A and B are shown apart, each in its own frame.
Chain A
Amino acid sequence: MAELDTSGGGKKGGGKVRSKKQSTRVDLTAMVDLAFLLITFFIFTTTLQKPKAMDLTMPDKDEKQDTRLPVPESRTMTILLGSKNKVEWYIGLPTKPLTAPIVEGFGKNGIRKSLMEQGEQIKQKSGGKEMIVLIKPSDKSTYSDMVSIMDELNIIGNQQRAIVDITPIEIGLLKTSNIY
């Protein structure tokens, strides 16, 4: 949209030679184009979303045995993390589980549903006490499994949980379920 110089063209005979009066207006179109192009570039390249973090508190590795609290097995749910993004869970001790071990996946119809149901049941049986969840990642599980299971516990609002080392008996359990 460049402006055309419409000021008088030809000289009139006779009169003084006048210098042409030039317009002081600059065509800003190109400049605006450039500015918006750069704005677009910066909008696309800036990451407005800051990374999120999940806080993780590990149990204190205290060597002294007397500071450890006994865990009631009837309130304890153990979740074993296996391969292929599968988990296996049971209530009680691995040698004599109170419920048979069940293999499940993640998501709202998988482990979250079980966590909610078991949490409710345990609360009723024990008179309002919260379920204790032990997470035991096996060597075949991935980091995302661990984050997912912690996230599921965050979603249902469970605070009584810990990440514990897996035992050989539990690895055996995973092996029989074909997720190790």
Chain B
Amino acid sequence: MPRVKVARKSTAIDMTAMCDVAFLLLTFFILSAKPKTQDPIHAEVPASTSQIAVDENDVSTVLVAQQKAFFGIAGVDLRIQTLKQMGDKYKIQFTPEEIKVFSGTESFGVPIQSMKQFLSMSSDERTALKQPGIPVDTTSNNELYNWVHEARVADKLLHNQEMKLAIKGDSQEEYPTIAKIIKTLQKQKVNKFSLITSLRTVTK
């Protein structure tokens, strides 16, 4: 009598489809990922219930923490134009090499006189450097005023639009520092800007 043989099935599963899916997802995440931009100083932003999202590629940011001010200009072309104008204003000639480095700098906080030195550093040195912040004095030496002003002029020139500005402040920052920044902006009739906050749910 012939015995009924149970067909022995292989335990190996076809992984091809799974592999396809995995790599498809991987590609999506790699392409959608934006490298996290390292701020030169850490600022713990305060929470609010505001739901308006900001596009950081479109908004120039004044970063305020530890009584220092940093300025981040949105967009590579705008950065180049702003640096050229600042060079003209302060009679500093920037080499094409330096302009290239500056166009890749997201946010900076050095006085204009040490800008050349700052741009000649290697990127590691620049990250490690404790930047002193842009001088914001209520008197004549208000470099932040000039930076914001030149950036606005440049944006008008390049894109014919009013530059959007945001303040990203550390939540424990004392108010006088913030007031100084706001006064600087108001002096050039910038009365409307955004405050960058993190999301908090409303407790009813």
Instruction: Enumerate chain A interface residues (CB-CB to B < 8 A).
Output: 1, 3, 25, 27-29, 31-32, 35-36, 38-39, 42-43, 45-47, 49-61, 81, 107-108, 137-148, 150-151, 154-155, 163
Check A55 against B192 for contact (C-beta < 8 Å): yes
In the complex, whether B19 has a CB less than 8 A from a CB of chain A is yes
Q: Is the interface of B mostly helix, strand, loop or mixed?
A: mixed
Q: Specify which chain B residues have a CB less than 8 angstroms from the CB of A57 in the assembled complex.
A: 191-192
Q: Tally chain B residues at the interface, Cβ within 8 Å.
A: 61
Known contacts A55-B52, A56-B195; A47 and B15 CB within 8 A of each other: no
A-B CB contact pairs (8 Å), 6 listed: A47-B34, A54-B195, A58-B192, A140-B175, A146-B178, A148-B46
Within the complex, the shortest CB–CB distance from B191 to chain A, in Å, comes to 5
Are A56 and B53 neighbours in the complex by a CB distance under 8 Å? no
Give Cα A55–Cα B54 distance, bound, in whole angstroms. 10
B77 near A: Cβ within 8 Å? no
Known contacts A46-B29, A52-B50, A52-B199; is A144 also within 8 Å of B171 by CB? yes
Residues 7-45 of B contacting A (Cβ, < 8 Å): 10-13, 15-16, 18-19, 22-23, 25-26, 29-30, 32-34, 36, 45
Interface pair A147/B195, CB less than 8 Å apart? yes
Contacts of B25 in A (CB 8 A): 35, 39
* Contact of A39 with B192 in the complex, beta carbons under 8 Å: no
Given contacts A35-B19, A42-B29, A45-B33, contact A3 B10 (CB under 8 A): yes
Decide: A43 and B29 in contact? CB cutoff 8 A: yes
Interface centre among B12, B166, B200, B203 (most CB of A within 10 A): B12
Chain B CB within 10 A, most for which of A1, A47, A107, A142? A142
Tell me if B51 is interfacial: C-beta within 8 Å of chain A.
yes
Which residues of B176-195 have CB atoms within 8 Å of chain A's CB atoms?
176-179, 182, 186-187, 189, 191-195
Q: Which residues of A contact B22 (CB under 8 A)?
A: 32, 35-36, 39
A1 / chain B contacts, CB cutoff of 8 Å: 11-13
**Cβ contact within 8 Å between B23 and A35:** yes
With A31-B19, A143-B172 known, 12 other A-B pairs at CB within 8 A are: A39-B22, A39-B29, A42-B26, A50-B53, A58-B186, A61-B187, A137-B175, A143-B169, A143-B178, A145-B175, A146-B178, A151-B197
- Known contacts A45-B33, A108-B204, A155-B49; decide if A51 and B172 are in contact (CB<8 Å): no
Interchain nearest-CB distance for B7 vs A (Å): 14
The yes or no answer to B170 lying at the interface (CB within 8 A) is yes
Chain B residues near A146 (CB-CB < 8 A): 175, 178
0 or 1 for each of B44-87: is its CB under 8 Å from A? (1 = yes): 01111111111110010000100000000000000000000000
Closest beta carbon of chain B to A109's beta carbon, Å: 10
- The smallest beta-carbon distance between A37 and chain B, in angstroms, is 10
A53 with B195, Cβ < 8 A, contacts A35-B26, A144-B171 known: yes
Complex contacts, A42 vs chain B, CB 8 Å: 26, 29-30, 33
- Chain A residues lying within 8 Å of B13, measured Cβ to Cβ, are 1
Q: What is the distance, in angstroms, from B193's C-beta to the closest C-beta of chain A?
A: 6
- Taking a contact as CB atoms under 8 Å apart, the answer to whether A32 and B15 are in contact is yes
Nearest Cβ distance between residue A51 and chain B, in whole angstroms? 5
- Which residues on A sit within 8 Å (CB–CB) of B47? 147
For B136, what are the chain A residues with a Cβ–Cβ distance below 8 Å? none
